[in-house]
Each structure stands twice: as C-alpha cells, then as structure tokens.
Structure 1
Amino acid sequence: MEFGDGFDQADAYAERALALMRERKIPPTPKNFTVWYAYVGETIPDLRKAMDVLISNKQGFDPTQNAELYEKYFSSSDEGLAVQETGRKIEDQMTQILAMLGQASEGADDFEASLKSGLGAIAKSDGLGGIKAAVQQLVAETQKMQSSNQKLQEKLENSSSEIESLRQNLEEVQREAMTDALTGIANRKMFDAVLRRAAMEAMEDGAPLCLALTDIDFFKKFNDTYGHQTGDQVLKLVARIMKENVKGRDLAARYGGEEFGVILPHTAIADAKTVCEQIRNTVASKRIRNRQTGEEMGNITLSLGVALFRPGEPLSELIHRADEGLYFAKRHGRNQTVLEDQLDTIEAD
C-alpha cells in the first residue's frame, strides 16, 4: 500500500495516528501503524468504516484485532509484492536459459561450418600431411564443442535448480497468504475462494453444499479473565478440533476473531449437523487448564448455525442464513447447533 501524502500532511497523519494508538495502548509496530495511518488518512473507506464501528461499540484493539485488520486490508499487498518479486526472478532465469540456448545454437552452426570446411580440406588434400592437419582441426573443433556442451549443461542444471527453488518459494508465499497465522488453518481469504468454487461446483453437479458458522461462547469474557495469550491457545484448540473433524473436500477456516466457518460440499444438511455436533461435543469435552500454574479454567462451548446453499443465490444470502442460525443459538442458551430449517419452523409458528 502506497501513500502519496506530502511531508506536512504525512507528518500530521502520523502524529494523529500515534496519538490514537497511545490513547488505546496499541504498540506502534509497523503493521499497527500502517492500519492507523490509513484510518486517519481515510485512504481505505472500508477500513475506516470497520474501525469506526469498532470504536463506536467501544471494542478494544487487542493484538488479535489489530492483526486481523492488517491481514484483511493490507496482507494482499505483501503477498502481491512477494509474488511479483519471485516472478521477476523466474523471468530472469528464463532469459538466461534462452540466451544460453541461443549461444548453443550459434556454436552448433559454427561446428557444422567447421565440419564442412574440414571435410572439404580432406577431400582436396593431395597428401597425408594435409589430411592429418584437417583431421587435427576437426578433433580440436569437436573437443571445443564437447566442452561448450558440458558448460551449457551445467548452466542449465543450475538454472533448473534455481527455478525449482523459486517455484517452491512461490508456493510457500501463496500458502502463507491463505493460512491464518495464529491457528494454522485456512484464513478468510481462503474461505471466500473455496466457498465460491464450491458453489459453482454445486450448481454444475447438483450436489448439496452446506455452510456452518460457529462462534466460541463468552470468548470475550474468557479473554478478559485469563488474558489474550490463553485466549489464543483456546483459538488454536478449537481450530485443531475443527480441522480433525473435517475430511476430503471439507474446509475449516478462521472466519474472523473467535468465529470459524466450515464449508461442507456434497453434504446434506442432516449430515452437516452430524459434523457440527461432533465438533461441538469434542470442544465441550475439553477442560481448559493453565499448564504453568495448574489452574482449572473450566471448559468452552460453541454455538453453530448451518445453512444449505440454494443454487443461483448470492453467497451473502447463504452466509446470512448460517449467521442467523448461529445467533439464534447464542440467544437461546448457546452450546448448540441450529439449522436454517429450524428457523423456518420457528418463523412459521
């Protein structure tokens, strides 16, 4: 992300951003400063709106919240720069290979000319001395060509190795861009991409597609009581359990904060509930304990909402119905899975 502000304007924005960060006790790390500078400068309207909502609701900007804001609005820029740099290096290697192949082609043409010249000299020679000289010249040219080919092979092998290394680096960059840094499961970007692809496939083959959204019950209270480090460990635990309970084409992802999503292609809504209940019961069975102090912190529970994709509908509608089920579960006791057809029944009553 680039900012085109002049010195005086940038200085004013920086002072204002730092003042807001000090006011909220936000560490002035480069990533945090990028977020708040953009907020003050209003360079990204969606970021400004999101932060205004958080501020108006008196939400705290803890490390997790700050990291999510940066990941959502700026990480794609980092990824793009890394991909661009790797692509440039691969292009350089390919240019070198083409140049080497061009040199090899010229060398082959020269060798062919030398062969023709040498053979012509032998044919025209009247004595052994002339034949011997021509043969020696041919041997020298052959050895020169062999040496050139060996050097070319070594250069090609080195370039091939470099390109393979760059390819692996590019895959790693792309994988990191699609992975939540804290929990190690898919992030929101990956969730959005997979959901779009799954919806297209569902429309093509007519197979059912379900979406589940889940939220950790009373997570803010847990965080405030035991600290963000313990809260982060809880997020990792839930992510691990979710990942262990999905298979094949299914995807578990961190949707945002303490909210997770599960994409379930080729899954009927009754089967989706079975998967969600397995996740919910496994999480509820875990007792949270501080390993250092031995303090028992009880257990955690999940509320879940499940919706079935309706071919042709906007994905925002599918997400909305799953979200409605989730918040119905939270408003009516928590620690339960609510299907969208249950909401239809309730509304009909």
Structure 2
Amino acid sequence: MTFTDPVDIAAHCARAAMGMMDRYGVPAHPNNFIVWYAFVADRDPELTKAINGILRSGQKFTDTICGELHERFFGMSQHEAELRAVGKRIEDAVARVMEYLSTASQGAIQYGNALENFSGELDCPTPGPELGVLVKSILDETKVMIEVNRQLEERLETSSGEIARLREDLDQLKREATTDALTGLANRKLFDISLRESALESEEERKFLSLLMIDIDFFKQFNDSHGHMLGDQVLKLVARTIQDCIKGKDTAARYGGEEFAIILPDTRLKDGVAVAETVRRQVAGRKVLNRRTGQVLGQVTLSVGVAEYEFGETLGAFVHRADEALYLAKRQGRNHVSSQDDLTTTNVIEFEDI
C-alpha cells in the first residue's frame, strides 16, 4: 500500500494516527504508525473493520495484536525476503548444474572429435612404433574424459543435495508464511487463498460451499482476569478442538485475535450448521485448568455464524453474511450457532413487528 496524500491531508492523518495510538496505548514505532495512518485515512475497509472490531470488544492493542495487524495488511516482509533469498540460492545452484552439464557436453564433443581423428589415422598403414603412440594418445584422452565425468558426478551429487536442502527450506518457509505461529492453524493469508480457491471450485463444479466464523465468548474478560499466557492456552485449546472436528479438504484458520474461521467445501448450509454445533459442544464441554495451581478457571464457549456461498457473489459479501450470523449468535446469548437463514427469519419478524 502506497500513500500519496497531499501534504496538508497527510499531516492531519499523521496527527490523528498519533493521537489514537496514544489514546489506546499503542507503541509509536513505524509499523504501528503505518497501520493507524491507513486506518484514519480509511484506506482499507478490511483494516477499518478489524480495528473497529477490536475497539468494540474492548481488547488492548498488545504487541501481538499490533504485529498481527501489520503482518495481515502490510505483508510479511521478513518471510518474503527469506523466500526470495532461498529462491535465489536455488537459482544459483541450478545455474551451476547447467554450467557443469555444458562443460561435460563440450568435453564429450572434444573426446568424440579426438576419437574420429584417431579412427582416421588407424585406417592408414601405420608402423609399429607410431601405432603405440597413437594408442597411448587414445588412452590419455580416455583418462581425461573419465576424470571429467568423475568430477561432474561429484559436482552434480553435491548440487543435487544442496538443491534438495534448499527445497526443504523453501517448503518450511512457505508453511511458516501461511501458518499462525501460536495455534498452528492456517493464518489469514492462507485463509484468503483457500477461500478464493474454494469459491472458484464451487463456481466451476456447481458444488456447495459453507463458511463458519467463530468467536470466543468473553475472551477479553478472561485475558484481563487470568493474563495473556493463559489466554494463549485457551486459543490453542480452541484451535485443537476445531482441527479435530474437520476433515479432508476443510480449512481451519485463525482469522485474527480470538476469531477463527472454517472453510467447508462441498458442504451445504445445514451440514455446516451441524459442524458448527459439534465444535461449539466440544469446546463448551471442556474446562480450562491452570496446570500450575490446579485451579479450574471456568468454561470456554463459542459463538458461531454459518453462511453458504451463493454463485457469483463477492467473497466479501460471503464473509460478511457469516459475520452477521456470528453477531446474531452473540446477541442471542452467546454459546450459540446462527446461520444466514436465522438472519432472514429475524428480518422478517422485525418487519412484521413494524
């Protein structure tokens, strides 16, 4: 994202950003400033929605949350730099292999030419001593070719091993770039990619597609009461439970903060609601325990919204509908699952009441 605001507007946005950062206790370092400048300048609707959601929930802008906002909306520069570096090393290793092969090819051509010359000389009547010299020359050329091939084999073996290691590094970096470090689920970047691919497949093959948006109830109060370390344990618990409840091509992701999402390909709305109920019951049936003290800290519950993809709609509209169902679940008392059908029913009731 680039900023090309006129000087007066830029100055106004900068002052407003610094003011809001001070108000909400956000450390004034460059990454945070970029996020809040973009927020007050209203540059990205998704960023605006994310920050407004955090403000509504009353959460504190911890270093973790600030880092997630910057990573989500302004790229993962460290991962990208590492990926580019490993990619460049692979290119260099492949270039060396091509150079080795080129050298070997030239050597083979020279050896072939030498054999042709020797063959021509052998066709001529040759005295005994000169024949010995000719045979020695052939043997010398053959020894040179054998040594060239031996060196080539060693170099190719070394380069192949290096390329294999670099590919492993590249795969690891790709996994890290698309995985949430705390929970091990897909991160927001991979969620966006998976949702786009699933929607495309749904369109092309005319298959159902459902989306679950999940939020941990009263997570801020739990954090404030028991601290962020135990809060992180709750996030891990919920993530493990969600992962245990899905299968096959389903994708579970940490959407941001205490919010999760599940993409369910080839799944219609009623089946998506069934998955949501399973996740909700599984989490609600567990108690949070402080392992150090043995104290039971209470029950964790979830609110879940479920939507089904409509062919031709934007992904933003799809996610928004699942979000609206999630907010409805919270309004209905939390520890609850609502679907887009409930939104329609609610709208009809409100209209009739009017």
**CA pair 321-285 structure 1, distance change in 2 beyond 3 A:** same
**CA pair 232-168 structure 1, distance change in 2 beyond 3 A:** same
How big is the shift at 1:23? 8.1
CA RMSD of aligned residues (A): 3.0
**CA pair 18-131 structure 1, distance change in 2 beyond 3 A:** farther
Match of 2:10 in 1: none
Match of 2:65 in 1: 65
Match of 1:6 in 2: none
Question: For the Cα contact (< 8 Å) 2:207–2:266, is it kept in 1?
Answer: yes
1:90 aligns with 2:90: yes
Match of 1:158 in 2: 158
Match of 1:105 in 2: 105
**CA pair 25-325 structure 1, distance change in 2 beyond 3 A:** closer
Match of 1:237 in 2: 237
Match of 2:176 in 1: 176
Match of 1:313 in 2: 313
Alignment equivalent of 2:32, drawn from 30, 36, 47: 36
Question: For the Cα contact (< 8 Å) 1:203–1:311, is it kept in 2?
Answer: yes
**CA pair 135-96 structure 1, distance change in 2 beyond 3 A:** same
**3-state DSSP class of the match of 1:291?**
coil
Match of 2:12 in 1: none
Question: For the Cα contact (< 8 Å) 1:35–1:69, is it kept in 2?
Answer: no
How big is the shift at 1:96? 1.1
How big is the shift at 1:341? 0.9
Match of 1:80 in 2: 80
How big is the shift at 1:36? 2.5
Which is further off, 182-191 or 42-51? 42-51
Question: For the Cα contact (< 8 Å) 1:178–1:190, is it kept in 2?
Answer: yes
Normalised by the length of structure 1, the TM-score is 0.87
Q: Could you tell me how far apart the structure 2 residues matched to 1:37 and 1:309 are? A: 36
1:271 aligns with 2:271: yes
Kindly report which structure 2 residues correspond to 1:108-127, keeping only aligned pairs within 5 A, or say none. Answer: 108-127=108-127
How big is the shift at 1:124? 2.9
Q: Deviations over 1:202-244 (max 9, x none)?
A: 1111111111101001111011000011001000000010011
Q: Could you tell me how far apart the structure 2 residues matched to 1:311 and 1:39 are? A: 34
**CA pair 165-141 structure 1, distance change in 2 beyond 3 A:** same
Structure 1 unaligned spans of 5+:
4-15
Aligned-pair identity in percent equals 41
**CA pair 207-49 structure 1, distance change in 2 beyond 3 A:** closer
**3-state DSSP class of the match of 1:131?**
helix
Q: Write the letter of the residue equivalent to 1:81.
A: A
How big is the shift at 1:27? 7.1
Match of 1:254 in 2: 254
Match of 1:330 in 2: 330
Q: Could you tell me how far apart the structure 1 residues matched to 2:53 and 2:171 are? A: 35
Q: Could you tell me how far apart the structure 2 residues matched to 1:241 and 1:56 are? A: 27
Which is further off, 209-218 or 164-173? 164-173
